[in-house]
Amino acid sequence: MSRSRILQGIGVSHGVALGPALVVNPTFKDLREVPLFAADLDREEEKLKEALARTEDRLLELRKRTEQRAGSEEAKIFDAQIMMIQDEEFLATVRNLINENHITAERAFEFVSLELRELWSQSDNAALRQKTTDLSAITDRVLGHLIGKTSSAEFTGQPAESSIVIVKELTPGLTVEFDRGIVAAFVSEEGTRTSHAAILARSLEIPCVMGLRSALADIKSGDQLIVDGSDGVVVVNPSAAKIKKARSRQDLRRSLERELELGVHEPACTVDGVLMSLRGNLDLPEELDSLVRHGAEGVGLMRTEFLVLGRSELPSEEEQYRYYKRVAQRFPSHPLIIRSYDLGGDKYPAPFRAPPDPNPFLGWRAIRVCLDQPDMFKTQIRALLRARLHGDVQMMLPLVTGLGELERSQEFVREAADALQKDGVEAGSDMPVGVMVETPAAVMLSGELAMQSDFLSVGTNDLTQYTLAVDRGNARLADRFLSLHPSIVRMLKRVLDAAEEASIPVSVCGELASDPLGGVLLLGLGYRVLSVVPSSLPLVRWLIRQIDEKAARLAAERAISASTADQVTAVLSEVLAEHVDADLLSTGWLPTRPLQTTLKGLKKPRLGAQTTR
């Protein structure tokens, strides 16, 4: 056996998997380089037509499979690929190349695809750059049909049970290509946590590591692997001891998952009696049942972009109202905080014909788009006001940088309420409007914003990105995206103080709230409302029930004075180590590396031990 090696990527879908590697790296050395005669051209066009039809049929099959396994919203990922192979301008260019240059259909399709990929990959528009993944996926499929290789297995051989698939770029199609019982995990050279394939892997609960740039060079089919989708670690040809430890992790993880599920309806109360409120982040309609099942006390962040993305026209007021009403009725006694459209950046709806932004994430997006498109914004506000008849619906504004944006939005709410009353439509007469604090400007103005708004909620994902000038979607910068950076800790404290001074509610809805160390920090700082992704609700609830608030408060005071992210991590790790079973560090739920040295010599309560309150 080859020597054991440890490779580091980005964990995008948690879990631990063991199994043989299956390298899926389609190559097309068989593309014909023969000159064609005029009599051959019709046959080549017919071949192209047949390959496109087979590709479309396969994409429709994958769409249906995804809908059955992950939900209708996730299945829409394939719509973009289907539209590409139906694009007449693209196909006309391929046919012209065949006829004018007398080359084969596969060569013509490959040439046009590569040219388009090069153009898109150099675009300043992030959404266009993201489309290169879809383009690569359909290129592989069409070329495969043209040369008679119609499935991934024909490039790689039939996968064994519990194989770990290694690819250059994981696509949504490949994510659902194999049965769940065959694929134990995915490893991809490219991609980030926010890519379509990563989202799909999480929905399917398949461990996945992305951004491992040397994967194809360092891993060969048949190599034995351990994949940790939480820490982003891949162990190649592990020792017997490492394999035994990984299997132990899997068993312990299953035990912990069962225990977490048993406690989903227990109060999130610390050892010393401090009660926290846990809400859920809602991205897609399919996650609603999961939020309810995991005991969410309302919705702290409901994203609404899915209502407009991938559509040929904007949703009507009635369509939006029905959806908001549906969610509100599931949480009749808890808040439902709905974020207004966070469009722009990498999320433009089809009806918009906006020119590309040189720097999309610093350009025309979020609240700026809403205020510049008042008809669209007011339609959403009208739907929200109508939904207030069915629950505590509140509106949150993304990417606010000044008071003017908040004041104009509040004026829109008043105008929409007056218009609904004049139209004789039953609706709420007013609606709480809050600010999602996710820019340094909003932090610096948090005192003024708190006095004017109804609530504040910190979005730590973008706040970290904008504060540290680190693109959170860039795999090369993953180790620099530090949510526990001292500047972020101090900003969190500043926002909390501003909200308390103004006597308004304040919460955290970013990924930091789902992180165990982040949870200790936020509890210690004084936050009492956290909003996390559905799958993290049981863990966060369980952790809070193990922690002493006083210890967390002392740790947060030290964290505020820290000079580096490592110092913040060390301080919070000490508290977590004092309250959490050391064995849980090996499950993949908790961050192993910062805590391993801290835990040496400490005795911990057993898994399943319950604190008496």
Return the active site residues.
196, 509
Measured CA to CA, the distance from residue 84 to residue 604 in angstroms comes to 56
Q: What is the DSSP string of 221-267?
A: TT-EEEEETTTTEEEES--HHHHHHHHHHHHHHHHHHHHHHHTTTS-
Is residue 123 within 8 A of residue 161, CB to CB? The reply is no
Under 8 Å between Cβ of 544 and 519? yes
The contacts found for 245-253 with CB under 8 angstroms, 24 or more apart, are 245/586, 246/16, 246/18, 247/18, 248/586, 249/16, 249/586, 249/587, 249/588, 250/16, 250/18, 252/583, 252/584, 252/586, 252/587, 252/607, 253/15, 253/16, 253/587, 253/588, 253/589
CA 15, 16, 20, 25 dihedral sign is: positive
Report, in this order, helix, strand and coil percent for the chain, each rounded to 5.
55, 15, 30
Among candidates 138, 158, 162, 142, which has minimal Cα distance to 150?
142
Residue type, 327: V
Intra-chain end-to-end CA distance of the chain, in Å: 53
Q: Write the CA distances from 556 to 438, 503, 551, 559, 561, integer angstroms.
A: 21, 22, 9, 5, 9
Strand ranges, E, within 438-477: 456-458
Query: What is the dihedral sign for C-alpha 323, 329, 330, 336?
Result: positive
| Chain position carrying tokens 């006001």 | 385
The burial class, CB within 10 Å (0-12 / 13-18 / 19+), for 39 is exposed
Alpha helices in 5-78 (DSSP H): 38-70, 72-75
Q: What are the b/e assignments for 58-69, b being 16+ CB within 10 Å? A: bbeebbebbbeb
How many other CB atoms are there within 10 angstroms of residue 246's CB atom? 20
Number of CB atoms found within 10 A of residue 161's CB: 11
Residues in the chain: 613
CB neighbour list of residue 320: distance below 8 Å, 6 or more residues apart: 304, 307, 379, 380, 383, 384
Task: Name residue 522's amino acid.
Answer: L
Pull the structure tokens for residue 452. Answer: 């004017």
Instruction: Spell out the residues 6+ positions from residue 554 whose beta carbon is closer than 8 angstroms to its own.
Output: 524
- Which 8-state DSSP code applies to residue 12? E
Phi/psi region, residue 191 (left: phi>0; alpha: psi -120 to 50; beta: rest), is left
Identify the residue whose tokens are 């050892």: 271
